[in-house]
């Protein structure tokens, strides 16, 4: 199974930049999308069915904001929309598709870059999300939690750890949360197989950051540890340019 996570920063914008053609060429089994920024009535979902994918859509209530989706070649046995916590479900932050014993989640974690209010919201989300996952894995123990976490875990994951030491997305308490999350039975798929530096998934749209590769690795596949033996490949697809993020691919037996 080939699973991709991709924050598209607006699916309509990404489609205008060749996303559909890229999807057909890349041919993944499952795509977890974040920041769709569109309700189903704002685009033609048959574009995806024509390309061979079932489209499961969970937008934010507010149009043009946030939202997650999952595209899959095979129909899901069950789709869970949201996490059951209204303040997060209003923003369309979690969707889960079950395929047999395996559950794949597309998650868009909040950003705290706009100020203290949203940073507090982010920290509350992190606390609530870890409790939600602790409960979920009792009934769905084989979890792939893919998405934009809006956190760089370690210094190797950010181009300038010194200057960004007090930046949202690289704060000590956020990085500690990733440590805690992993310690509760998860595996950072990319870092499990790749220890090279300068591997990023998001770049600022200012100062030619992408061309200079001055980026952040904030997009993850976190796998429940019982899937470790099935993980065969993890790669950042930095050549895809439909967004300020790029996709991350994993392959599971």
Residues designated catalytic? 148
- Calpha distance 92→35 (Å, rounded): 9
Neighbours of 209 (CB within 10 A): 17
87, burial (CB in 10 Å: exposed 0-12, middle 13-18, buried 19+): exposed
- Calpha distance 119→105 (Å, rounded): 23
Q: Is the Cβ–Cβ distance between 247 and 22 less than 8 Å?
A: no
The label of the residue with tokens 């395929």 reads 99
In this structure, is the dihedral angle defined by the CA atoms of residues 189, 191, 194 and 197, taken in order, positive or negative? positive
Q: Is the Cβ–Cβ distance between 175 and 151 less than 8 Å?
A: yes
Q: What is the largest CA-CA distance in the chain?
A: 47
The token duo for 137 is 């894995």
The CA-to-CA distance between both ends of the chain, in Å, stands at 6
58: Cβ contacts below 8 Å, ≥ 6 apart = 67, 68, 69, 81, 82, 92, 94, 95
> Helix and strand tally (H, E) in the chain?
7, 14
């Amino acid at each position: 199974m080939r699973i991709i996570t991709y924050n598209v920063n607006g699916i309509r914008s990404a489609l205008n930049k060749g996303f559909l053609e890229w999807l057909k060429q890349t041919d993944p089994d499952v795509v977890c999308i974040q920041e769709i920024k569109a309700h189903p009535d704002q685009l033609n979902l048959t574009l995806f069915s024509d390309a061979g994918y079932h489209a499961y859509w969970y937008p934010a209530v507010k149009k043009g904001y946030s939202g997650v989706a999952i595209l899959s070649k095979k129909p899901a046995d069950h789709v869970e929309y949201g996490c059951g916590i209204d303040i997060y479900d209003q923003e369309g932050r979690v969707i889960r598709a079950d395929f047999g014993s395996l559950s794949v989640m597309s998650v868009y974690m909040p950003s705290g870059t706009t100020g203290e209010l949203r940073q507090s919201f982010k920290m509350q989300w992190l606390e609530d999300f870890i409790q939600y996952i602790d409960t979920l894995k009792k009934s769905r123990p084989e979890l792939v939690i893919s998405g934009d976490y809006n956190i760089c875990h370690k210094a190797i994951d950010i181009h300038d750890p010194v200057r960004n030491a007090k930046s949202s997305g690289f704060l000590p308490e956020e990085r500690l949360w990733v440590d805690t999350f992993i310690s509760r039975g998860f595996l950072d798929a990319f870092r499990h197989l790749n220890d090279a530096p300068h591997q990023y998934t998001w770049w600022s749209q200012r100062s030619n950051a992408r061309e200079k590769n001055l980026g952040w690795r904030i997009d993850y596949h976190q796998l429940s540890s019982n899937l470790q033996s099935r993980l065969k490949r993890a790669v950042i697809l930095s050549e895809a340019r439909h967004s300020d993020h790029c996709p991350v691919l994993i392959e599971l037996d």
